[in-house]
């Protein structure tokens, strides 16, 4: 039997546990896996691009567990009444190849993306950071704000979106969550006075939602919207004045902000910072940039975290996903012993 977590169970689990405590606990799992980064099989995700969006598989494994996520990104979907991003994931036993967990991952990915952002920002933002700016207030925004508050204490949020309805939604939700919210009139207004800036827009284009003139010394930039070829958010000049940190350079080079500055552009692996091999921020006036595209090890950590937390609880049910005849070599027995069906 395979453990199964559907959307309703995931919703109830997150509501019961609380988003902020879960984010903090998930960061601990992420840090554990980042510290053993070299033990994982690593490959850029496998994409199928179309004019409407992208469908991707994101696999990785260590010596004991194999995990993958199926995820799409279709910016046009909200106009159809659909989510821009949806996902599900599987965690399997390497020794047998049997799946252990099948789960929805739209909500779980929102948690893991926010947790990764906060994990990076905790090491890359100035210790005295107090103000968080959000450019893009779609599905990820509340999770990002909560993660930055829980891990860095950033309760003041300055928000902007070109979609007034999305901005209304965020202001309403964030105010109810106890944030001090400034409804910005532009991207420049949003980042004015900010210490940490998160860009999380969805359009699949080479956009410039953050210009070099908007970036002040000492800022930490958390760029999470660029996640496919031809999709960026930052003016290239920003990268040239920043120390740029990445999850996995070969994937980021194809999908992230650094695609705009070339293959030879120097980056720092975030796992080396988590492991203590490389420093994060080195001065108060340094501009740091986390060029985050989402990598399979992040999802692996989230799947492992979910399995450990919901196993044996009402949030996980069991489904009969694997055909298991009494004789492992006689798969046909499962159909030959089935009741005959008349076709007369």
Question: Cβ neighbours of residue 28 under 8 Å, at least 6 residues apart?
Answer: none
Q: Helix, strand, or coil here: 298?
A: helix
**Dihedral sign, CA of 283, 24, 253, 41?**
positive
Q: Which residues of 163-172 are buried (b: 16+ CB within 10 A; e: fewer)?
A: eeebbebbbe
Q: How far apart are CA 240 and CA 223, in angstroms?
A: 15
Q: Which of 110, 67, 47 is nearest to 255 (CA)?
A: 47
Q: Which of 33, 161, 195, 227 is catalytic?
A: 227
Q: How far apart are CA 272 and CA 280, in angstroms?
A: 9
161 is catalytic: no
DSSP type of residue 228:
B
Contact 189, 62 (CB under 8 A): no
Residues belonging to the active site: 227
């Amino acid at each position: 039997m395979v453990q199964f977590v559907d959307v309703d169970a995931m919703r109830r689990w997150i509501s019961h546990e609380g988003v902020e405590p879960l984010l903090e606990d998930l960061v601990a799992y992420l840090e554990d896996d980042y510290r053993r980064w070299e033990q994982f099989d690593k490959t850029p995700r496998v994409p199928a691009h179309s004019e409407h969006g992208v469908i991707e598989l994101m696999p990785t494994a260590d010596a004991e567990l194999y995990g993958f996520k199926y995820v799409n990104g279709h910016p046009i979907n909200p106009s159809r009444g659909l989510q821009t991003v949806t996902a599900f994931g599987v965690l399997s036993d390497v020794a047998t190849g049997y799946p252990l967990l099948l789960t929805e991952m739209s909500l779980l990915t929102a948690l893991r993306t926010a947790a990764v952002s906060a994990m990076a920002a905790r090491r890359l933002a100035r210790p005295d950071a107090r103000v968080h700016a959000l450019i893009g207030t779609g599905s990820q925004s509340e999770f990002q704000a909560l993660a930055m508050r829980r891990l860095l204490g950033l309760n003041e949020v300055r928000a902007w979106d070109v979609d007034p309805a999305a901005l209304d939604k965020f202001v309403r939700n964030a105010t109810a969550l106890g944030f001090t919210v400034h409804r910005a009139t532009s991207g420049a207004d949003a980042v004015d006075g900010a210490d940490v800036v998160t860009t999380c827009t969805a359009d699949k284009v080479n956009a410039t939602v953050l210009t070099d003139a908007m970036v002040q010394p000492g800022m930490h930039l958390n760029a999470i919207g660029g996640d496919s070829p031809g999709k960026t958010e930052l003016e290239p000049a920003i990268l040239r004045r920043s120390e740029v940190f990445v999850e996995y350079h070969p994937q980021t080079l194809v999908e992230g902000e650094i695609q705009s500055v070339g293959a030879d552009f120097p980056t720092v692996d975030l796992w080396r910072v988590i492991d203590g091999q490389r420093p994060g921020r080195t001065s108060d006036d340094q501009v740091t940039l986390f060029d985050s595209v989402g990598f399979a090890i992040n999802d692996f950590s989230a799947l492992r975290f979910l399995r450990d937390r919901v196993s044996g609880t009402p949030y996980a049910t069991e489904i009969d996903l694997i055909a298991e005849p009494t004789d492992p070599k006689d798969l046909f027995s499962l159909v030959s012993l089935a009741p005959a069906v008349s076709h007369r």
